[in-house]
Structure 1
Amino acid sequence: MENQETETLARIHEQVSQNPVVLYMKGTPQMPSCGFSSRTAEALVQTGEKFAFVNVLADPMIFEFLPKYQDWPTFPQLYIGGELQGGCDITLELAESGELKKMMADANAQATQDA
């Protein structure tokens, strides 16, 4: 079991590092499986910025071990520029203030420069 945890946490780290914006959610942006994931994904879509997502329901190991990655117990989880931003409430607050679009645009631009 410990091996699975180590491998899964390494995979999560890789996803967070390689994607400027990544949302861990229940379902997909097109077919969310919970209200919190739905509202969070919609806020990201509304920015017009690109983002990656991982359906935690389709990957039981990520579902189990993601809460340990940054000690955040719930889904969804939004990472921008490798940093955990938070879940639904925080994402919606960032969207309302206009910060979300700026943060996503900055992270995407930085990734393009680094490529």
Structure 2
Amino acid sequence: MSGFLARYLAPRASLSLRVASVRQPSVLIPRWYSNGSGAPKYDNKYYDGLVKDKKLVVFMKGDPSAPMCGFSRLVVQILHMHGVDQYEHHNVLEDVEFKEGMKQYSNWPTFPQVYMNGELVGGADIMLQMHQSGDLIEELKNIDHQSLLLDKSPSE
């Protein structure tokens, strides 16, 4: 390890040891994540209702007209390039319980999360890869949407 890197990491290593010795709470669900009865405010049935039988749902920071992070903006831009401007969306920043529950439901720790036909497609990185490879055009066909990119001639 180089001298600079060793000097940079040394203070942080001692900090992590002190943090690691802090006693962690034994409760898996935080108190703020309940409706007062001890049960979660949002359960899998609730989230199923948001995504099942829906062609396209985006859980994002902000909304399509005003994304609150670059990754959410990227997903909105990719969808817009394909002519998808009307879709169901949910701002996860409006409710911490909703956001944390969605992470557990999807088993996906970050946002945005894109669902097509009730199935998690992924986040911004996967949407970008699908756009670049052309796979997104096929996925959009599965939700009965023809991409605008198919309408463009090679000279445009």
| Normalised TM-score (structure 2) | 0.62
The aligned residue for residue 109 of structure 2 is: 73
Contact 1:57/1:63 (<8 A) preserved: yes
1:31-110 equivalence runs, <5 A: 31-49=66-84, 50-108=86-144
Contact 1:8/1:62 (<8 A) preserved: no
CA RMSD of aligned residues (A): 1.8
Structure with more of its chain in helix, by fraction? 1
Contact 1:19/1:51 (<8 A) preserved: no
3-state SS of paired residue (1:61)? helix
- Whichever of the two has the greater Rg, that structure is 2
- Between the aligned partners of 1:73 and 1:86, the Cα distance in structure 2 is 11
Cα deviation digits, residues 36-58 of structure 1 (max 9, x gap): 11101111121113422111112
Cα deviation digits, residues 91-114 of structure 1 (max 9, x gap): 1111112221321231246xxxxx
Runs (4+) of structure 1 moved beyond 3 Å?
none
Structure 1 residues 64 and 91: alpha-carbon distance in aligned structure 2, compared to 1, 3 A threshold: same
* Structure 1 stretches lacking a partner, 5+ long: 110-115
Instruction: Report the count of equivalent residues.
Output: 108
| Normalised TM-score (structure 1) | 0.82
- Between the aligned partners of 1:31 and 1:100, the Cα distance in structure 2 is 23
Taking only the aligned residue pairs, the percentage that are identical comes to 34
3-state SS of paired residue (1:78)? strand
